Amino acid sequence: MERGDRTPSGDHRGVRRKVPVVLKVLAAVAGVGILLFGVLGSPSRALSRSSDTIGEREMVRITGPSNKTVEVLALIDTGATSSSMDTKLAKSLGFDLAHAPKVTVGSSLGREQRPVVDAVMQLADRSFVSKVNVNSRAKRETPVLLGRQDVQGLQVAVGKRLLTRPDTTTAPSALKILFAKAPAIDAVSLMSLLPLAALLIVVLRVVVGLNTLGTFSPVLLAMAYAQAGLTLGIPLTLAMFALGFVVQPLLLRLHLPRVARLGALIGVVTTCLIGAQLALGSAGLSDSWGMALPVVVTAIIIERLWEQWDIDGVRAAAVGAALTMGTAVLVALLLLTPYVRHLAERVPLQLAVVCAVWTVLVGTYRGLRLMELLRFAPTARVQDAAS
């Protein structure tokens, strides 16, 4: 009778064990799904209070005489009378610069003769024909400058960027901003987004179970990517990781303490960033691109890579680095979605407080992580079958 009494009890325990696991898996999958939907499927919306408001940097669509169309980043400069375009861009659009009329233009470099072309432009929800003078802008941040004659009737929001898209006053997608090579978030909004980025990292580590190199290193990398763009941020990150492994043997031979290793790494990373900025400044990169990566955090990440390489091998270190960079890209995408940027610009204080409260709530989770549930699922099925 005792054996017969134990069997239902064991079955009952098995059923009780299955239900929480299923609920946890569903909750975790739903949470990650909602997050991904919010990042990639967030609908566009206007970020300005008025349809006549544009930022200091905006995407503009230019059509040439051969009907070739490109979208490029333009600097909105109300201090300049006329607009200008880079020579290479004008040639790629099919403009005949050799037979174009010339105009004398004065600038900080003096007076010079420049060809003038008629280009069809689309800025926000406006389409117009602009007389654009053509000169080399290889050392400038943007290939196009729009002067006040082409932005009459529009209000330029100081400190704001990428508020519109060509043909519409809605904001560009997060993915387009990451490849636009221009910061899209002002300083106050960026500060208010730090708690949101931290909340996302807590969810990914505590609930999902992703093991990144450092707890909040992906947060600062995400901020760097959001400001510098992926085309600059990813290569810089990979270059710094490679640089760290190059100097690793030397620092290990010196038997330096941890604080000295970090100091040496910071010095090496900073020196290389400054040297690369000075060497590549003629390529037209922004004057502040050298600050795209948080130097101290990069040095700490490199040191963690060393430790994981020594303890778990090259594969584990590579996986950790990939997860860290992938998480940073995901966070950057979330921060740049139109709705998130709207909240950061309109209610920065409230957003920071709400994210801090939710971080505390998520931190109280003590159940199994999603990665652990997936890893132990076969063992649980075997035990349930045996019982």
DSSP 164-183: -BTTBSBPPPHHHHHTTTS-
φ/ψ of residue 162, rounded to 5: 50, 60
57-63 and 69-76 strand pairing: antiparallel
pTM, two decimal places: 0.68
- 58 Ramachandran zone, left/alpha/beta (phi>0; psi -120 to 50): beta
Whether 175 has a pLDDT exceeding 70, the answer reads yes
Most confident of the following: 20-34, 70-84, 172-186, 212-226: 70-84
Sketch the domain layout of the chain as residue ranges.
Answer: 54-170, 187-375
Query: Is domain 54-170 given the CATH code 1.20.59.20 in the classification?
Result: no
Query: What's the mean pLDDT in 177-197?
Result: 76
Q: Using CB atoms within 10 A of its CB, is residue 121 exposed (0-12), middle (13-18) or buried (19+)?
A: buried
Any idea what DSSP says for residue 186?
-
Which residues contact residue 143 at a Cβ distance below 8 angstroms, ignoring those fewer than 6 apart? 72, 73, 74, 85, 86, 88, 89, 137
The whole-number pLDDT of residue 37 equals: 58
Neighbours of 168 (CB within 10 A): 14
* Sign, Cα dihedral of 91, 96, 101, 102: positive
Q: What is the mean pLDDT of the chain?
A: 76
Contact criterion met (CB below 8 Å) for 78 and 151: yes
Query: What's the mean pLDDT in 272-280?
Result: 71
The whole-number pLDDT of residue 38 equals: 55
Q: Give the model confidence (pLDDT) of 123-135 as tens digits.
A: 988 888 989 999 8
Query: What's the mean pLDDT in 78-98?
Result: 88
Query: What's the mean pLDDT in 200-214?
Result: 83
Q: What are the angstrom distances between the C-alpha of 150 and each of 14, 81, 386?
A: 72, 9, 76
Contact criterion met (CB below 8 Å) for 335 and 39: no
Residue tagged 């450092």 (tokens): 214
- Nearest CA to 124 out of 206, 73, 185, 59 is that of 59
Query: What's the mean pLDDT in 113-127?
Result: 89
Which residues contact residue 119 at a Cβ distance below 8 angstroms, ignoring those fewer than 6 apart? 62, 63, 64, 85, 93, 95, 129, 130, 132
3-class secondary-structure state, position 222: helix
The whole-number pLDDT of residue 12 equals: 41
Q: Give the model confidence (pLDDT) of 318-344 as tens digits.
A: 888 888 888 888 888 888 887 788 788
Contact criterion met (CB below 8 Å) for 118 and 100: no
Q: Angle 241-278-114 (CA atoms, 0-180°, nearest 5)? A: 130
